[in-house]
Amino acid sequence: MNHFVSQETLLSATTWCERNHTATLDLEALLARIPSLRLRRKQARLALRKHLSGQERVRWIKNAIVISFDNAEGKQGIARRLEESADILDAIATRALTPKEICKALEISNQERLRWTKDGRLKTSGTLTFAAGRRVTVPTYSARWVADLLKNNRMIDGWRKQDTA
């Protein structure tokens, strides 16, 4: 299956410094590539912190993670940690988007979301039910479908023109 976050994706956002024996993962560069993960920035950071917290050679700086390695461990050890991290981040990134998240991702109003969902332009992937004094059910949207839609912003502009006509 095609992953949003793969080991290659993480490695492409990583800068290696052989002289200092460090690898720096640029979180902003990573989040810029994956819309659903960008929306869940806090969850992604928390998941990475939890996963890497037991590692004594991991330092967090503003928007990056610096991992030190020795010659014995080398790049293979770092790559192994990044592969585990990729699986954790991919689970966050591929989870269905809520109505609030899809509005943010597509930069649309809630009224547009409701209209476009009702007439079938926005495809739902399921529902989410939770208790907020009473049972509330909201539609969810596929993270993959939204990522594909974001690659073609003209479609949303077309929908808006169609609505005004």
Determine the pLDDT at residue 51.
87
**74/128 same-domain check:** no
68 and 132 share a domain?
no
Phi, psi dihedrals of residue 65, rounded to the nearest 5°: -120, 125
**Domain containing residue 25:** 7-94
Enumerate the β-bridge partners of residue 23.
16, 67
pLDDT confidence tier of residue 72, bands split at 50, 70 and 90 = low
Supply the pLDDT for residue 129. 92
* pLDDT in the model for residue 74: 67
Looking at the fold, whether 36 and 68 belong to one and the same domain comes out as: yes
What does the pLDDT look like over 85-122, one tens digit per residue? 899 999 999 999 999 999 999 999 999 999 999 999 99
Residue 20, pLDDT above cutoff 80: no
Q: What is the pTM of this model?
A: 0.82
Q: Give me the mean pLDDT over the 118-127 stretch.
A: 93
How much is the mean pLDDT over the chain?
A: 87
Lowest mean pLDDT among 10-19, 42-51, 111-120, 134-143: 10-19
For range 22-45, the mean pLDDT: 89
CA 25/CA 14 separation, integer angstroms: 4
Distances (CA, A) of 67 to 23, 39, 78, 132: 5, 25, 8, 42
**Tally of structural domains, the chain:** 2
With respect to residue 56, please indicate whether it lies within any of the assigned structural domains. yes
Q: Give the pLDDT of residue 1.
A: 54
Looking at the fold, whether 14 and 75 belong to one and the same domain comes out as yes
